[in-house]
Amino acid sequence: MTDLLLLPGDGIGPEVIAEVMRVAARIAPDLALDERPFGGISFDQLGTPLSEETLAAAKAAKAVLMGAVGGPKWASAPRDKRPEAGLLGLRAGMGVFANLRPAICFQPLADASTLKREVVEGLDIMIVRELTGGVYFGQPRFIENLPGGGRRGVDTQVYTTAEIERVSRTAFELARGRRNKVTSCEKSNVMETGLLWREVVTDLHARDYADVTLEHMLADNAAMQLVKNPRQFDVILTDNLFGDILSDEAAQLTGGLGLLPSAALGLAGQPGLYEPIHGSAPDIAGKGIANPLAAILSFEMALRWSLQRTDLADRLFAAVGRALEAGARTPDIGGRLTTPEMGDAVLAQL
């Protein structure tokens, strides 16, 4: 059985996954690794961004680690054949409904943020983003021609009680192991799904998680509070679209996307999907300057959440922190190291 299925994908994906493989060979040589085509490269080779073989391999592994997908090369591919469609298909196919996106400000990088050091120092937020529902998947969705000229585009935002409850459980459980606070974000002032979201979270909290502090915040206000006073947050619980936006914003608080991992989890016992939250970065792909830390930290999350190797995850997390303390920096965080040199810096600390 495969422990970790690697999906390097497109752009900088293969470069950063190569560094994960070096780290894995060092700290967990017993892990059974496998690799499959996914994203644009899979479209080029097989005519689809997500082949049945790759999806089957993902469901059969204990954990899946993706590099990145997409790029200008596939911008004009049919919509359902785009690399991004493959990613949504993988998330839905694996049933990974809870997306954990930590935003941690590593001490030595507090000056890499565009915000003042005193605002971001010590920041440790966990965004829990619903990942397999909402407007990303809701039907109907289409663009139609209007009789009198012009067109009409339709997306559907839809959530059920069950979808809201299961991701909320993940958020409450996580909060218990942290600072015990959940901030649930929606737009209940204007959206029906937002109103339902607020009611379901409130009910579940009263029923099973009354020991956790629960706060509701409108998503637009949350976006503002994130840059005003980000340390007020512990766990942020939100839907697919708001989670996409708020997690990019939170990433920038910590000094950029190059450092942030994510974990997408389904029901207990099912494989998790791990992805750096940066994209394929076509502008720097192939130059050997991408920051591999987000991918390495995604591997760290896989060790922790799917592979039951908390000991190794702790060691790896500490090694990344020490590498940064020792001054290791790729260009995105103000340094000159190449991707393999950043990998070396982490290996040196292991």
Among 5, 55, 87, 264, binds ligand IPM (CB under 6 A): 87
Q: Considering beta carbons, is residue 277 or 345 the nearer one to ligand IPM?
A: 277
Contact between 251 and 277 under an 8 Å Cβ cutoff? The reply is: yes
Residues 233-252 as x/- pattern, contact with ligand IPM by CB under 6 A: -----------x--------
For residues 223 and 6, what is the distance between their CA atoms, to the nearest angstrom?
A: 33
Q: Considering beta carbons, is residue 110 or 126 the nearer one to ligand IPM?
A: 126
9 binds, among Mg ion, ligand IPM, none (CB under 5 to 8 A by kind): none
Interface with Mg ion: number of residues (CB under 5 A): 1
Q: Considering beta carbons, is residue 163 or 244 the nearer one to ligand IPM?
A: 244
Interface with ligand IPM: number of residues (CB under 6 A): 5
Per CB under 5 A, 239 contacts Mg ion:
no
For residues 228 and 236, what is the distance between their CA atoms, to the nearest angstrom?
A: 15
Per CB under 6 A, 264 contacts ligand IPM:
no
Per CB under 5 A, 244 contacts Mg ion:
yes
Q: Considering beta carbons, is residue 40 or 108 the nearer one to Mg ion?
A: 40
Minimum gap (Å) between residue 88 Cβ and ligand IPM:
6
CB-closest chain residue to ligand IPM: 84
Q: Considering beta carbons, is residue 93 or 108 the nearer one to ligand IPM?
A: 93
Minimum gap (Å) between residue 87 Cβ and ligand IPM:
5
Q: Considering beta carbons, is residue 34 or 84 the nearer one to ligand IPM?
A: 84
Helix (H, G, I), strand (E, B) or coil at 130: strand
Give me the amino acid identity at 346.
V
Radius of gyration of the chain (CA): 20
Per CB under 6 A, contacts with ligand IPM among 306-345 are none
Active site residues: 136, 187, 220, 244, 248
Minimum gap (Å) between residue 71 Cβ and Mg ion:
15
Per CB under 6 A, 84 contacts ligand IPM:
yes
Helix (H, G, I), strand (E, B) or coil at 188: coil
Of 104-112, 243-251, 294-302, 324-332: span binding Mg ion (CB under 5 A): 243-251
For residues 22 and 319, what is the distance between their CA atoms, to the nearest angstrom?
A: 14
Measured in whole angstroms, the distance separating CA 58 from the mean position of its chain's CA atoms is 17
Residue 269: other Cβ atoms inside 10 A: 7
Contact between 40 and 73 under an 8 Å Cβ cutoff? The reply is: yes
C-alpha distance from residue 83 to each of 68, 73, 79, 118, 325 (Å): 9, 10, 9, 39, 36
Q: Considering beta carbons, is residue 35 or 84 the nearer one to ligand IPM?
A: 84
Looking from the CA of 225 toward its CB, the CA atoms found within 13 Å total 15
Minimum gap (Å) between residue 278 Cβ and ligand IPM:
9
Per CB under 5 A, 130 contacts Mg ion:
no
For residues 329 and 332, what is the distance between their CA atoms, to the nearest angstrom?
A: 8
For residues 322 and 157, what is the distance between their CA atoms, to the nearest angstrom?
A: 43
Handedness of CA 87, 90, 95, 101 (dihedral sign): negative
84 binds, among Mg ion, ligand IPM, none (CB under 5 to 8 A by kind): ligand IPM
Tokens for 165? 């409850």
Measured in whole angstroms, the distance separating CA 193 from the mean position of its chain's CA atoms is 23
For residues 163 and 38, what is the distance between their CA atoms, to the nearest angstrom?
A: 27
276 binds, among Mg ion, ligand IPM, none (CB under 5 to 8 A by kind): none
For residues 109 and 121, what is the distance between their CA atoms, to the nearest angstrom?
A: 9
Binding site residues, Mg ion, CB under 5 A: 244
- The site for ligand IPM (CB under 6 A) is made up of 84, 87, 244, 277, 279
